Structures are given as structure tokens and as C-alpha cells.
């Protein structure tokens, strides 16, 4: 349990594998290098946890999935329950993706060694959208990719000192004029957001 909003359960396919010695993967049909995560192993893990088909979204983490972005994070943050499936080596037997996953998600157009880091990225991005996750040190409202900034990038921030080695904080931020500051921030956000 993390705070009051997030309960995480971490499971290893090895713990519920029906195969001897905790085997979870096998050689690819058709030949080639690498090992493939077996469909019966994933089925056993899901059965052990849910006993039946999970009644919620099951996400297979794969570079071939829908790219994670803030709208998708917001969507997932609205889910009561979520299952994330990770693989290693060559990835999943395709039947896992076809029959057990409701979604496939990629955290970016590059290949990592396993789904552990992608799973953590997904969990962290969701966790900070849950009620009470952010303290007063961080605003989750007006930030990059938020609707408040029309999906654009956040404006620059400055703090004390107002001048350092001749590098000055923009005068408008010291003006105390909230309307001017808001206008300046909007403008900066628009200027740094690729069109």
C-alpha cells in the first residue's frame, strides 16, 4: 500500500509457473535467437491471482504497443484496477497479447532489456495523478502536457537568487503582476511547444 490510493502487488511468473524448475520461457517456433515468454506461464500467473479472467484492463508492456503519453496516463489513472505484464528476452508469445491483454503499451521507441522499467514508468506516471499524491512542492495542474497548457510544454521556472553571475530572472516574474505573469507563462509555453 502506498499512501491511501495505491496498492501494488508484484508477482514473479516463476512463483506460479506450471513447469519444472520455475521455467517461464522457451525457444521460438520457427527458430532464431532468444527465448519467448510462454502463454501457459502467463495464464497460470493470472489464474493464481484472479482465478478467472480479470475484470479490468490488462496491459502488456511491449515496444510494439501504443506509445505512453499524458492522455493515456490520465485514462489509466481513472481505472480502479490494472494489471501490467512484463516480458524479457524476445518478449511475449503473441497469444498473450491476443488473448490476455486488453492493451499494449510502449514507453518509447527504443528497446529495453525487460518490462520492469516500463512497468515502473507506467506506475509512477499514474501514481502522481492520484488524489493526494503531490505535495505543495509540485503542481500537477499546470504542467507539461496538461489540458491547462493545451497539451503543451510547461513554461520555465526560476527561484532565488534573482541574479547569479549576471544571469537575471525575467523582470516580469518579479513584477508581482499576476495577469502579466500568467500571460508571459502562456507565451513561453507556446513558444517552447513544437507545433
Ligand X SMILES: C[S@@+](CC[C@H](N)C(=O)[O-])C[C@H]1O[C@@H](n2cnc3c(N)ncnc32)[C@H](O)[C@@H]1O
Interface with ligand X by CB under 6 A: which range of 4-12, 62-70, 156-164, 181-189? Answer: 62-70
54 binding ligand X? (CB under 6 A): no
Residues 68-127 interacting with ligand X (rule: CB under 6 A): 86-88, 90-92, 106-108, 110-115, 118
Beta bridge pairs of residue 60: 85, 104
Work out the angle between the directed axes of helices 70-77 and 116-127 (0-180°, nearest 10): 70
Q: Which of 45, 46, 61, 73 binds ligand X (CB under 6 A)?
A: 61
Contact criterion met (CB below 8 Å) for 90 and 24: no
Nearer to ligand X among residue 91 and residue 152 (C-beta)? 91
Contacts (Cβ under 8 Å, ≥6 apart) of 183 = none
CB closer to ligand X, 27 vs 148: 27
Q: Which is nearer to ligand X, 113 or 159 (CB)?
A: 113
120: left (phi over 0), alpha (psi -120 to 50) or beta: alpha
Least spacing, CB of residue 43 vs ligand X, in Å: 17
Q: How far is CA 111 from CA 21, 27, 83, in A?
A: 28, 20, 21
Closer of 3 and 108 to ligand X (Cβ): 108
Q: Read off the C-alpha cell for 70.
A: 499524458
Task: Record the cell numbers describing residue 164, joined without a space.
Answer: 547569479
Q: Which residues here bind ligand X, judged by CB under 6 A?
A: 61-64, 86-88, 90-92, 106-108, 110-115, 118
Amino acid at each position: 500500500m502506498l499512501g491511501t490510493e495505491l496498492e501494488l502487488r508484484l508477482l514473479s511468473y516463476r512463483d506460479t509457473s506450471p513447469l519444472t524448475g520455475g521455467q517461464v520461457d522457451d525457444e521460438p517456433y520457427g527458430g532464431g535467437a532468444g527465448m519467448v515468454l510462454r502463454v501457459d506461464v502467463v495464464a497460470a500467473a493470472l489464474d493464481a491471482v484472479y482465478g478467472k479472467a480479470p475484470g479490468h484492463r490488462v496491459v502488456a508492456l511491449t515496444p510494439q504497443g501504443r506509445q505512453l503519453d499524458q492522455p493515456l496516463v490520465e485514462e489509466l489513472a481513472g481505472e480502479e484496477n490494472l494489471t501490467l505484464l512484463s516480458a524479457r528476452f524476445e518478449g511475449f508469445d503473441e497469444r498473450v497479447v491476443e488473448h490476455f491483454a486488453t492493451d499494449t503499451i510502449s514507453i518509447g521507441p527504443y528497446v529495453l532489456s525487460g518490462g520492469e522499467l516500463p512497468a515502473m514508468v507506467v506506475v509512477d506516471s499514474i501514481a502522481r495523478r492520484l488524489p493526494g499524491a503531490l505535495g505543495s512542492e509540485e503542481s500537477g495542474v499546470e504542467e507539461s502536457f496538461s489540458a491547462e497548457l493545451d497539451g503543451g510544454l510547461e513554461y520555465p521556472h526560476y527561484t532565488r537568487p534573482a541574479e547569479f553571475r549576471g544571469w537575471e530572472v525575467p523582470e516580469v516574474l518579479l513584477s508581482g503582476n499576476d495577469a502579466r505573469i500568467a500571460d508571459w507563462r502562456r507565451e513561453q509555453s507556446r513558444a517552447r511547444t513544437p507545433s
